[in-house]
């Protein structure tokens, strides 16, 4: 099972682009990379998932280099409401199981 | 997507007692999971609730302590048995509705348990 390493916390200001990098050196061939967001007193919420290169949706982009040993979640123009914990997960989606790492606490300041 | 409700939302219990947490989904789903999240910590997968068969437990979790029922495709319960203060935590259920390549789980709001 691939272990993930993320920064414990990050600070940003409203309107800035935030990039959170996750390291997963032991990622397996069949593993996908998934990011979740969790607000206090709520369950986590799916943000984005990818296998390689770049994935973009309406809320974020996910950049995955060719060796797939790391990934970067990019949040464009953050607002105060983006203050949350962001989790990077790596795993074989065919098993449907998610193992959460320690997460990155993002604090967006006005 | 899926809308998930959990009951109770929170409870305070005495050590040695048991609490059953309910998880209800607004649609039929194949995969249901139970997680534990201790204060300020990440989520830990307890088990996969299988419909019509015994739950599949992760390392460190056993059926005697965390019995799980899954009587149909929209409902599951997790019981925390013979509780101790170390069981104080948030318990969350989640479901996977997507048989596609995007493996997106939807989480319930959680049950905050305090054991005295």
**pLDDT tens track for A39-85:** 988 999 999 999 998 999 999 999 999 999 999 999 999 999 999 99
Smallest CA–CA distance, residue B109 to chain A, in Å, is 5
First vs last Cα of chain A: how many Å apart? 39
Q: By the CB < 8 Å criterion, does B106 face chain A?
A: yes
Which chain B residues are closer than 8 Å to A93 by Cβ? Answer: 101-103
Q: By the CB < 8 Å criterion, does A13 face chain B?
A: no
Q: What is the pLDDT of residues B33-89, one digit of tens each?
A: 999 999 889 999 999 998 888 899 999 999 999 999 999 999 999 999 999 999 999
Mutate to test the interface with A, among B43, B106, B107, B109 (most CBs of A within 10 A): B43
Which chain B residues are closer than 8 Å to A34 by Cβ? Answer: 103
- Per-residue confidence (pLDDT) for residue A77, from 0 to 100: 93
E strands of A1-110, at which residues?
9-13, 18-23, 31-38, 45-50, 53-56, 61-64, 70-75, 84-92, 104-109
Q: Would you say A17 and A75 are in contact if contact means Cβ atoms under 8 Å apart?
A: yes
Q: What are the C-alpha distances in Å from A30 to residues A48, A68, A72, B48?
A: 17, 11, 19, 21
- Per-residue confidence (pLDDT) for residue A99, from 0 to 100: 78
């Amino acid at each position: 099972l691939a272990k993930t390493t993320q920064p414990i916390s990050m600070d940003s200001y409203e309107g800035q682009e935030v990039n959170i990098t996750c390291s997963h050196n032991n990622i397996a061939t069949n593993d996908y990379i998934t990011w979740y967001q969790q607000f206090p007193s709520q369950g986590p919420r799916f943000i984005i998932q990818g296998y390689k290169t770049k994935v973009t949706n309406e809320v974020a982009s996910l950049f995955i280099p060719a060796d797939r040993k790391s990934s970067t979640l990019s949040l464009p123009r953050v607002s105060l409401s983006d203050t949350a914990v962001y989790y990077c997960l790596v795993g074989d989606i065919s098993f449907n199981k998610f193992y959460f790492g320690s997460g990155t606490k993002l604090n967006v300041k006005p | 997507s899926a809308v998930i409700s959990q009951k109770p939302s929170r409870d305070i219990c005495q050590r040695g007692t048991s609490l059953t947490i309910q998880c209800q989904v607004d649609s039929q789903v194949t995969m249901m999971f139970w997680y534990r999240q201790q204060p300020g910590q990440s989520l830990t997968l307890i088990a996969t609730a299988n419909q019509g068969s015994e739950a599949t437990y992760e390392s460190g979790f056993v059926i005697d302590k965390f019995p799980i029922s899954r009587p149909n495709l929209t409902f599951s319960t997790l019981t925390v048995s013979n509780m101790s203060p170390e069981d104080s935590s948030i318990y969350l259920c989640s479901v996977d509705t997507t048989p596609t390549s995007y493996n997106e789980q939807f989480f319930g709001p959680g049950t905050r348990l305090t054991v005295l």
